[in-house]
Each structure stands twice: as structure tokens, then as C-alpha cells.
Structure 1
Amino acid sequence: MTSKTGGKRASVASVRINMEASDKPAQKAPIRNKPSLGNVSVSTHASWSISGLLAAQRMTKNFKERRAHKVALVKKIEIVEPQPPSFASRPPEKVQVSAIRQILEGYLPLRLGDTTYDPKQVPSLVKEISDEIRSQVKKVLPARYKMLCVATMGERGQEDIKVVSRCLWDPHADNYAAHVYQNDSLFCVVSVYTVFCE
């Protein structure tokens, strides 16, 4: 191939023009040890075959209908608001979990702010905390709800601990709230479970 003055390779079209010009006797002879390109032709016409057209037709057959069907299926699955099943409890008023959390978040720092861990006093302290929280939460509970308050307290050291609970209840009516309080000496985990009784 011949190169242009800028050091770039010539395009195929320019090679063809240069090769036609080489038929003139005044042109230089081709460089040795390089095969000549001969007549280079450029085709700008697309080549089509019947089998290719049939394959393309099969691939795009009903494409718009299939796409519209997929979009319609996605829209049908969308759930706006899940309804409780017929056997679920339907309380007239549900528990406000945020109100119970506010009680826990306000009470525990006031009660345990400067308390140090003493293993002899922990059983009575946990019972007092549980009773006081229960009396405050009863004020915000709707009618026909029962409540269970569980307090767990331990010494804060190098160890890790997990407090886990498992309940069997109606998720449409029952709920819970939990809060963790820590100071330099101890940790306290309080969980309040509310269950609707029919």
C-alpha cells in the first residue's frame, strides 16, 4: 500500500486510484520484494441471501407483540397494598410501635445512666425495669392487646452477645419493639411484644 504524506496508510479507494495511475510509463517501478496489489475493487452494495432474509424474518416475527405481552405481565404483578387473609385478626386499632420505641429510648438512659454492673443487684434491677416499662407502655396500648416485656442485662466486657427471640403470631395484628442501651459498665436489651387477643 502506498502511504500519504502524513505517515498514515492510504485507504482502499486511494490504493485503487494509485494502481490505475501506475499504468502510465512515467510512474516509478514498484518496490522490490513487495507483491503488487493488482486491481483492488471496493463494493458498496450489500449482499443479501434468501436464507438470511428468512432467518431474520423468523427472529423478528411477532417481536412487538411479545414485548408488549412481557410489559403487560410486569404491570399485572404489581401489588399496591397487601390485604390480610380472611383468617387473620383485624383489630380496630393497631399498636403504634414508634410510641413504644420512644418510651424505651427515653426511659433506659434515665434509669441506667450512672448505674454500674453488680451481679447481686441485677435480678431485682431487671424486674424493676420490666415492671416500670410495662406500666408506661400500657398507657399507649389499644384495647384487647396483651403485652410481654423482656429485659436482659449483662456486664459489658470484651465479649459479644446476641439476644434472639422467636415468636409465633399474626403479623397483621401483632408487633414488637426493642431497644439496646449501653454504658461503660453494662448493657441492657429490652423487648416489648404486643399480641392482639380476640
Structure 2
Amino acid sequence: MEPLKKFQAHSVETKVQQILQEQLKDVKYDDKLFSHLSLELSDRILSTVKEFGYHRYKFIIKVLFIQKTGQAINIASRWIWDVAWDSWVEAKHETESYVALALVFALYCE
């Protein structure tokens, strides 16, 4: 079986980037605020991605806030999936004090 509509990473990435820019344009770094905001952003991104109508896809949304303190950071994800149908998207919003990173994993379920 294959999906009626294959996951279009570019259109989803554009929309997720737009959400990050709109929601975080005037936000300063606050670790207490970010724990709640990451949940809100994840929910908003998930509902937006579902509006694209990718039937039989399951989505995993991860939103990270990283304070800029002069450090280096590496973020890695590992998975087993079908490269023909499954995909992922990354969107980033950067300010002077933090980086917000949103990851969307799209998994096709038969």
C-alpha cells in the first residue's frame, strides 16, 4: 500500500518556519516560559500539519529551545523507517539569546 498523498516536506517546512517566526518574534529567553511554550508550539504545529491531509501518516513533533551561551551543540535522531514514504522536516528560529528548533517526523502507517 502507498499513501494517497505523499508527505511534502518543503510545504510543511515553510509552514512550520512561519509558525515559529509568528509565535517567537518578540519572545526573550525564559526557561520557565519555554517549558510551556514548547508544548503549545508542538500542539499548534501538529494541528497545522494535520490540515495538509496526509492520511495514514503519524506525526512526531519535537520543539527544543537552546540558550546561546557560546557553546556548541549536536542534535541527532535515529530511526528505522521506509525511505520511500517516511520523512522529516526541520525549522529553526534564531535570536540573540536562544535558538528554537522544531522537528516534524512523518511516518506512514499501512
Q: Using structure 1 for the length normalisation, give the TM-score.
A: 0.53
Give the alignment's Cα RMSD to 1 decimal.
1.2
| Structure 2 gap segments, 5+ residues each | none
Alignment of 1:97 onto 2:31: no
> Does structure 2 conserve the Cα–Cα contact (< 8 Å) formed by 1:99 and 1:140?
no
- State the identity as a percent: 27
> Does structure 2 conserve the Cα–Cα contact (< 8 Å) formed by 1:154 and 1:187?
yes
Deviation at 1:101, TM superposition (A): 0.7
Alignment of 1:189 onto 2:91: no
| Structure 1 gap segments, 5+ residues each | 1-88
Deviation at 1:156, TM superposition (A): 1.5
Structure with the greater alpha carbon radius of gyration: 1
Alignment of 1:155 onto 2:62: no
More strand by share: 2
Partners of 2:102 and 2:71 in 1: CA distance: 19
Using CA pairs below 8 Å that are at least 6 residues apart, which structure has the higher relative contact order?
2
Partners of 2:48 and 2:2 in 1: CA distance: 25
Alignment of 1:165 onto 2:77: yes
Partners of 2:25 and 2:4 in 1: CA distance: 38
